[in-house]
Amino acid sequence: MEYAQAGIRVNAVSPAGIQTPMVDRFAGVGETEVKSNFAQMHPIGRLGTPEEVANAVVWLCSSQSSFVTGQALGVDGGWTAQ
């Protein structure tokens, strides 16, 4: 909040399960039972994509979010809402 009046916005992006190489190392490459179970833990029923997280970051960096500061944006398929 101490930087808001200087036009500096501070936000965080908080993803949940995102289909990345790290998830592949944990749950196996391709469609696996572990990934399916993990996906079903998200209310949206699937893992997210890196592009979906990137889109949220791009939006936060754009003038369209100029009134947003001090927020943690959950890009998590509803994980934190359950």
Report domain extents, the chain: 4-81
Instruction: Please give the Cα distance from 24 to 68 (Å, whole number).
Output: 34
Identify the band that residue 4 occupies on the pLDDT scale cut at 50, 70 and 90: very high
Is pTM beyond 0.85 here? yes
Q: Which fold has domain 4-81?
A: Rossmann fold (3.40.50)
Note whether 77 and 15 are within 8 A (CB).
no
Name the one residue in this structure whose structure tokens are 């572990």. Answer: 34
Query: Average pLDDT for residues 1-21, to the nearest whole number?
Result: 95
pLDDT tens by residue, 15-74: 999 999 999 998 888 888 999 999 999 999 999 999 999 999 999 999 999 999 999 999
Note whether 60 and 14 are within 8 A (CB).
no
Instruction: Please give the Cα distance from 72 to 16 (Å, whole number).
Output: 13
Name the one residue in this structure whose structure tokens are 């200087």. Answer: 6
